[in-house]
Structure 1
Amino acid sequence: MARPIWTGTLSFGLVAVPVGLYSATEDHAVHFRQLQRGTSDRVRNQRVNERTGEEVGYRDIVKGYELTEGEYVVVEPEELDRISPGRSKSIEIGGFVDLAQVDPIFFDKTYYLGPRGAEYAKVYGLLHRALSETNRAGLASFVMRGKQYLAAVRVEGDVLVLQTMHYADEVRDPHREIDSLPEQAAVPSEKELAVACQLIEALSTDWDPEAYRDDYTAQVRELVEAKVAGKEVVTAEPAPESTNVVDLMAVLERSLQQASAVPAEQSAAQPAEEPAAADRKEPELGELTKAELYRLATEREVPGRSSMNREQLVEALQGPAKGKKRRLRAVS
């Protein structure tokens, strides 16, 4: 079992329960060491004085807050330690908010909260049930690892979770960050909107987190495995081209036709009667998008489909032997 990264008391009003905080997610990214080309010698970073080029010892480094270019206010590490908030011994919920009122952009990292013993299960369960029935989250402020956090305590399945949150001044205004945003939203035609809504409905699916995989990390691991075996690998497929506004309606109708098998001339009206199976022309695999290929691979239960790129999905759907191990295509 994992060890908690923080222990203390979770309280609301006069009700308190000892809890432990556990990481809810983990990083599966592939990490590399820096080596000098042609050798197996590690390359390490050093703290260097940019004026003299000499290495500076850790004890000789202080903090500098830049006022203007080249002018700093110097702060000693001990001065920061004196004003650093001490570790919180409790997470005190000061209020409850309707989850529907909280924009997801404010949420940061997620942790599990667990009771510190079986004897606290009833109090823990009480808060879990109350939050679930009211669809609310408890707001609290606490200190962990020398940093003060705003946090929301909410229900996730049969456990309580704590999500650290961004403060209001940490969330950027998109209108200041994106200079290409129009002052007024462009208004689509009624027909374009109707077809776009139909396309969204045709591509709608149930949320299944197991259906989504980190393709890039899988490809990095395959790259490493291929290099161990003395092979080379394929490059990533190019990104789709931008849609021309002039061709927007045509692109929407073609997309809808591919997604729902509705003829283009019927796309904005009632669906046409499905043709007989013998008369229906199946699209060529090479004409399908990666999303369409993935749905077809799911229907046919193609193994390993979640980590395949578009070219590999086409190859798998063309009928490779069942159970055959998928290999990377070598390039010279």
Structure 2
Amino acid sequence: MAPRANWKGRIRLGEVGFGVALYTAAVTSDRIALHMINRATGNRLRAELVDAETGKPVDKEDEVMGYEVDTDDYLHLDPEEIAAAVPESDKTLAIEAFLPCKDIDTLYFDRPYYLAPAEAASVDAFSLLRDGMERQKVAGLARTVLFRRLRTLMIRPHGQGFIANTLNFDYQVRSPENAFTDIRDVKIDAEMMDLAKHIISTKLGDFDPSTFDDRYEAALADLVRAKLQGRPPPRRKAEPQAKVIDLMAALRDSVKATKAPRRKAG
């Protein structure tokens, strides 16, 4: 059974248009879900909005969004006002430009989606655009109103369809300057660089997501299983204390240890 599309609309490129459907590419529904409960009664807890000053619960009809213009001074925004200000979706994914895939900064990627033809009549035009972009090694930059917000998407050929990544706006991506400002300039010794290159070359592999493991999820599953079976919960082993090391000596030791054949990166 085909998955349900999150959004349906039309790709427009100049005078050409055809129907497309957007599907979620990454999900979290398979993760173990934990709930807050009352230890004394075993009953599940529910969230409740209370007035910050009086501490009393607030009725649903009295809940309203607000923008803080000054300390404890809020401008009320009714749901109807917000809805009226949000751009209306015309269900059009308008491609504004193409750019080389190698020039894309993945730092701006938000969420991935699959993009497929919405109906049989769109397959020919869809396939033409996909194959043309694949041969040119380009991605399409497009905009549309998606989930009640104007969003920019990066569309790239992928197999029989496209991957469409929503993009963060420039103001949402922090500058790396604050994170990197304390990194001093270092002159790397030639022998150190040769040793580093050797270690890297022995660890070269292929990108294989099936080898990635979610250690937190696995540990949580082990904990739940142990408690259900009445066994003592597993305990995480303490990490060894970090030691001050001689970098050159450590690199040489690493070279001695990297005698294994190539393996897939995990």
TM-score with structure 1 setting the length: 0.73
Q: What runs of 5+ residues in structure 2 fail to find an aligned partner?
A: none
Indicate which of 14, 29, 32 corresponds to 1:30.
Answer: 32
Contact kept? 2:153, 2:166, Cα under 8 Å: yes
In the TM superposition, what whole-angstrom CA distance separates every residue of 1:128-172 from its partner, at most 9, and x where no partner exists? 101101111111111122111110111112211211001111110
Letter matched to residue 250 of structure 1: A
State the match for 2:192 in structure 1: 192
| Deviation (angstroms), 1:226 | 1.5
Query: Looking at CA atoms only, which structure, 1 or 2, has the larger radius of gyration?
Result: 1
Contact kept? 1:175, 1:181, Cα under 8 Å: no
State the match for 1:257 in structure 2: 256
Letter matched to residue 215 of structure 1: R
Secondary structure at the residue paired with 1:260? coil
Indicate which of 117, 123, 126 corresponds to 1:124.
Answer: 126
State the match for 2:105 in structure 1: 103
Runs of 4+ in 1 over 6 A off after TM superposition: none
Contact kept? 1:23, 1:110, Cα under 8 Å: yes
Secondary structure at the residue paired with 1:114? strand
Secondary structure at the residue paired with 1:132? helix
In the TM superposition, what whole-angstrom CA distance separates every residue of 1:159-195 from its partner, at most 9, and x where no partner exists? 112110011111101213x27632x432221121211
Secondary structure at the residue paired with 1:42? coil
Letter matched to residue 214 of structure 1: D
Contact kept? 1:114, 1:160, Cα under 8 Å: yes
Q: What runs of 5+ residues in structure 1 fail to find an aligned partner?
A: 262-291, 299-305, 307-332
Equivalent-residue separation in structure 2 for 1:229 and 1:116 (angstroms):
48
Equivalent-residue separation in structure 2 for 1:90 and 1:239 (angstroms):
53
Contact kept? 2:226, 2:234, Cα under 8 Å: no
Alignment of 1:307-326 (within 5 A): none
Change (3 A) 1:202 1:42: same
- Equivalenced residue count is 262
Which has the larger strand fraction?
2
State the match for 1:169 in structure 2: 171
Alignment of 1:1-332 (within 5 A): 1-27=2-28, 28-176=30-178, 178=179, 181-182=182-183, 184-239=184-239, 242=242, 244=244, 247-260=246-259
With CA pairs under 8 Å and 6+ residues apart, which has the higher RCO, 1 or 2?
A: 2
Change (3 A) 1:258 1:30: same
Equivalent-residue separation in structure 2 for 1:185 and 1:236 (angstroms):
38
TM-score with structure 2 setting the length: 0.91
Contact kept? 2:222, 2:234, Cα under 8 Å: no
| Deviation (angstroms), 1:88 | 3.5
| Deviation (angstroms), 1:243 | 6.2
